[in-house]
Amino acid sequence: MKKEILKRIGIVAVIFAIVIYVVVIAVNANLNNSNELTTEIAVKYKYNESIAADALIVREETVIYNNISSGVEYYIVEDGDKVAVGTSVAKVFSDETDALFYNKVQEIDKKIEILESLNKSYDNVSNDGAVDAQIYLNIKDLLKAVNNNDYSDRENSSQSLVYSINQRQRIVGTVSDFNTQIQTLKQEKAKYSDAGSSYVHDIKAPNAGYFVANVDGYENVYDYDTVTELTVDDLNRAYMPENVTNNAVGKIVSGLDWYIVCKLTSDEALSLSHSESYPKIVFSSASDEPVPVELVALNQSSKQSDAVAIFKCNYMNNSLSHMRNETVQILINDFEGVRLSKSALHDDYVEILDEEGEPTGETARVQGVYILHGSELLFREVSVIFAGKDFVIVDINPESAILKSDRTIIINDEVVIEGENLYDGKIIK
């Protein structure tokens, strides 16, 4: 009997030991899992909230025609040049030889003008260091013009660079004057002039603006004066361009203002209408630099329907003057703060402070993150200023009235983005 009792006691003891062992393993596993954390460092971040859209460009444009049926056209101005009313934009010559000779005469005149100017201005410049600095600036301007495909600025920058280099030659004594070069150029000019360089017709700009050689047929499709009234139905009609005749020489883009027309979804229109700053637009084919614009119309039949956003711009250059249908980025808001994964956000309680920063004895449930300070978790209240798909941007220096507590996140905090059983004051082993 005693053996049977002892046997049963032994079995119970073994079972109890096994249960204790399993419980200990489970508790340890749970503790280990609760101490496994994934963190990220809080860094300063700038984010541009933007809308990608297809844009239609509407400008005040006047097509220029050549009324002479025969002859060779030769452009006097560069494509994209800014011209005054009455400026010669092209001339018609009897044949290609006359056009070529005329071009040579114009190039020689420019060289003579530069050299004569250097002869006169030499006495006013004696510092080669200043000229070297000017050469450096000329090179920067030239590279910028090339990168922006701005032909007019490229030509001006090239001439300025040549002028500065010649100016330096005089200062350092490489040449005493440019009289010999001027005389040689005049003789060369006379040779081309005598050979024949006269034109038979002069084509002039009907108004002031930017000269653009390309005519695409959309110049008069959309009414410039009523562009702000365009609707979604208008854009969906897909108007066809007008036929471009062979005698179209180019066009003048005039008027101080021009318009960018974009079709948006209802959500995009809502975001645009809530923008707290003047929008800017980046044109993919022109430059990476944002162009400042003004939203002048947001035409929408209902809040749930698509909309047409119409922006006005008074900034113009060579590249912009050539655009018609473009893919653009509409920058509607700039946010600067700390970028965090959305998984870092949690709700916890903080002690409420009064206006003087003293504890009130009350608590409030707020949104925040857990940071790892040494081996301890600390809860920090945050103010979210922008929420993306999988990230948020929080204010670095939120106003005291926004926070319930006096503790928020700072740059270089180690923020927990994954972990279990998180709470303020938890010790991580």
pLDDT in tens, 139-154: 877 787 777 666 666 7
Decide if 279 contacts 295 (C-beta within 8 A). yes
pLDDT category of residue 216 using cuts at 50, 70 and 90? very high
Q: Which residue has the higher pLDDT, 270 or 116?
A: 270
CATH 1.10.10 matches 38-46+338-418: no
**pLDDT value of residue 13:** 47
Q: Is the pLDDT of residue 104 over 90?
A: no
CB under 8 A, 24+ apart: contacts of 165-171: 165/135, 166/114, 166/115, 166/118, 167/118, 167/121, 167/122, 167/125, 167/131, 167/134, 168/128, 168/131, 168/132, 168/135, 170/118, 170/122, 171/122, 171/125, 171/126, 171/127, 171/128, 171/131
DSSP string for residues in 338-358? EEEEGGG-EEEEEEEE-TTS-
Start-to-end Cα distance in the chain: 51
- 235 closest CA partner among 321, 306, 295, 330: 306
**pLDDT value of residue 169:** 67
**pLDDT value of residue 120:** 66
DSSP 8-state assignment for residue 395 = -
Rounded to an integer, what distance in angstroms lies between the CA atom of residue 236 and that of residue 56? Answer: 12
Decide if 210 contacts 321 (C-beta within 8 A). yes
* Helix 128-147 and helix 151-172, axial crossing angle in degrees, nearest 10: 160
pLDDT tens by residue, 396-413: 888 877 888 888 999 999
**pLDDT value of residue 175:** 62
**pLDDT value of residue 199:** 81
Which single residue is written with the structure tokens 């614009």?
A: 293
Task: Work out the average pLDDT over 115-123.
Answer: 67
**pLDDT value of residue 152:** 60
Decide if 54 contacts 31 (C-beta within 8 A). no
Q: Which residue has the higher pLDDT, 333 or 21?
A: 333
Rounded to an integer, what distance in angstroms lies between the CA atom of residue 412 and that of residue 39? Answer: 12
**pLDDT value of residue 180:** 80
Is the four-CA dihedral 333, 336, 341, 342 of positive or negative sign?
Answer: negative
Q: For the chain, which residues make up each domain, given as ranges?
A: 1-33, 38-46+338-418, 51-58+219-335, 88-204
pLDDT category of residue 170 using cuts at 50, 70 and 90? low
pLDDT category of residue 265 using cuts at 50, 70 and 90? very high
% pLDDT > 90, the chain: 41
Task: Work out the average pLDDT over 351-359.
Answer: 78
Q: Which amino acid is at 81?
A: D
Decide if 265 contacts 247 (C-beta within 8 A). no
**pLDDT value of residue 9:** 52
The answer to which of 50-64, 110-124, 290-304, 307-321 has the lowest mean pLDDT is: 110-124
Which run of H or E residues covers position 273?
helix 266-273
Rounded to an integer, what distance in angstroms lies between the CA atom of residue 406 and that of residue 308? Answer: 45
Decide if 43 contacts 69 (C-beta within 8 A). no
pLDDT category of residue 17 using cuts at 50, 70 and 90? very low
What size, in residues, is the chain?
A: 429
Task: Work out the average pLDDT over 321-350.
Answer: 91
The answer to which of 103-107, 160-164, 253-257, 420-424 has the lowest mean pLDDT is: 160-164
Decide if 184 contacts 176 (C-beta within 8 A). no
Decide if 217 contacts 325 (C-beta within 8 A). no
Beta strand pairing status for 199-204 and 88-93? antiparallel
38-46+338-418 against 51-58+219-335: fold identical: no
**pLDDT value of residue 167:** 67
DSSP 8-state assignment for residue 415 = E
Query: What's the token pair of residue 104?
Result: 């040579």
Q: Which amino acid is at 372?
A: L
Rounded to an integer, what distance in angstroms lies between the CA atom of residue 92 and that of residue 65? Answer: 12
pLDDT category of residue 6 using cuts at 50, 70 and 90? very low
**pLDDT value of residue 62:** 95
Q: Is the pTM of this model over 0.75?
A: no
CATH architecture of 51-58+219-335: Beta Barrel (2.40)
- 261 closest CA partner among 218, 302, 303: 218
**pLDDT value of residue 183:** 87
Query: What's the token pair of residue 158?
Result: 């090239």
CA angle 313, 317, 321 (to 5 degrees): 75
Rounded to an integer, what distance in angstroms lies between the CA atom of residue 395 and that of residue 44? Answer: 10
